[in-house]
Amino acid sequence: MAYIIAEPCVGVKDTACVKVCPVDCIYDSEGWDQLYIHPDECIDCGACEPECPVEAIFAVENTPEKWKSYIQKNADMFKQ
């Protein structure tokens, strides 16, 4: 997984990142508390990261320690 979306997106779900994603790998669904990046579809381009107004998007290796649990949370959303 190249990029993940962390806690700052919870309850916000601003779609600026969705609009710039060249492979449409950022998803929203009814009942979800935030947007999620599909780990198998993300091409690691980084286009979404600077567009996020709440700074919730991180490369996996740059995810702050306090939000590391969101790496697994993003992956789990697409195992269902």
Determine the pLDDT at residue 3: 97
The answer to pTM > 0.85 is yes
By percentage, how much of the chain surpasses pLDDT 70? Answer: 98
Residue-range domains of the chain with CATH:
3-76 (3.30.70.20)
What is the rounded CA–CA span in Å between residue 24 and residue 68? Answer: 23
The CA angle 30-34-35, to the nearest 5 degrees, is 90
What is the rounded CA–CA span in Å between residue 54 and residue 59? Answer: 15
Give the tens place of pLDDT for each residue, 28-37.
999 999 999 9
